[in-house]
Amino acid sequence: MGASPVINARRAWTGPVANPAREENGLALFEGEAVGGLLYDCGTGPQKPLEARIAGLEREAAVLQELLEGLPESSSA
């Protein structure tokens, strides 16, 4: 299972950090605890995170389709 968008955003941070290795370890620990919490504490199993990911992709596809429909048609000669 890939990293969550929040984790990806934190990993994309380009600002200075005191100890990059410690920051990376902290992010990995946070991500592992979040995934474990979803799978075991919340009882969702792997199905709910997968459904959330699919819903996000479906919404992204809908937004992209709206953007494409709003573009003027190109004329081909």
pLDDT digits (tens), the chain, 77 positions: 455 555 555 666 667 778 888 888 888 888 888 888 877 777 666 777 788 889 999 999 999 999 999 988 876 65
Domain spans in the chain, listed from the N-terminal domain onward: 5-69
Q: Report how far apart the first and last C-alpha atoms of the chain are (Å, whole number).
A: 47
Length of the chain: 77
> How far is 38 from 57, CA to CA, in rounded Å?
20
> How far is 72 from 68, CA to CA, in rounded Å?
9
Question: Residue 26 is inside which H or E element, if any?
Answer: helix 20-36
